Structure 1
Amino acid sequence: MSKLSLGAYPHMLGFEQLERLLERTAKSGNEGYPPYNIEQTSADSYRITLAVAGFSEADLSITIEDRQLVIRGRQRDDGADRVFLHRGIAARQFQRSFVLADGVEVGEAIMENGLLHIDLTLMRPETVVQTIQIRKG
């Protein structure tokens, strides 16, 4: 079966970037860690909450890369001088990505009780009607 491209549809002009974004998101390999919630907090705002127990603010980074919100976590392994009888809490790194639509702005990030909250706001553009003049050729 062949892959269908948005470029195969002549009425979908200029959507090549969207197609690349969808492909990259599908390949990002977001496993199940860390678990997260996405909630709508008002008509134009959202909140992403990640469960990041054991991570400090210094262990986390939040960036926006080419219309993607990327959250990375890397714990420092200070267990070199510690002896574990059982180690069930893994100090593993993660990367979690979310595609941002046009007009979505990232607000503040808050760390609270092992949860990282990231607030997003949808900025709705005003509707613009543009008339194109037709001239004789």
Structure 2
Amino acid sequence: MATIDLSPLYRSSVGFDRMASLLDAALRSDTSASGYPPYNIELIAENQYAITLAVAGFEEDDLEIEVENGVLRVSGSKPEEKEKREFLHRGIANRAFERKFSLAEHIEVTGAALKNGLLTIGLVKNIPESMKPKRISIGNSTKELLEVRSSKSDS
């Protein structure tokens, strides 16, 4: 198994533990590496994304979508067929699956739709106002700055 030494990164930065665990998870082989079902990740607008999975043969009741601790999990399983069918060739995979997607901070799932065998999951990135960049105006007097400081220390 490949390993990456991130200790130089930890010496000069704070809060990148999540990145290390994401890298470990990406390098670790798991069941979702099988390639089934195939999927697309699409940028719709600046802060809007869509994940589309090809789930031919599955109905809404056969699929489950769940978000927990920043991980989107999509799974599907078909109920046992009541009547036995004999296939000469079986190329449509109706096997059970589970796909996991790690979501970045502030990514929220907005909904899902199943149409023509494609399951589309909408995502949006909602950055809180407190985390958005804020422009600071530059004044021409240090007196104004000192007044702001003294009013904060008085309260």
Question: TM-score range, shorter-chain basis?
Answer: 0.7 to 0.9
Matched residues, percent identical?
39
Residue correspondence of structure 1 range 1-137 to structure 2 within 5 A:
3-6=4-7, 9-27=10-28, 28=30, 29-78=32-81, 81-86=83-88, 87-126=90-129, 127=132
Q: Which runs of 5+ in 1 are unaligned?
A: 130-137
| Contact kept? 1:38, 1:47, Cα under 8 Å | yes
Counterpart for residue 146 of structure 2: none
TM-score after normalising by structure 2: 0.72
More helix by percentage: 2
Q: Which has the larger radius of gyration?
A: 2
Shift of 1:68: 1.3
Amino acid corresponding to residue 63 of structure 1 in structure 2:
E
For 1:7 and 1:104, the matched residues in 2 are separated by: 28
| Contact kept? 1:6, 1:15, Cα under 8 Å | no
- What RMSD in Å do the two structures reach over aligned CA positions? 2.4
Shift of 1:6: 4.6
Q: Which runs of 5+ in 2 are unaligned?
A: 135-155
Amino acid corresponding to residue 81 of structure 1 in structure 2:
E
For 1:56 and 1:2, the matched residues in 2 are separated by: 40
Shift of 1:99: 1.3
| Contact kept? 2:60, 2:114, Cα under 8 Å | yes
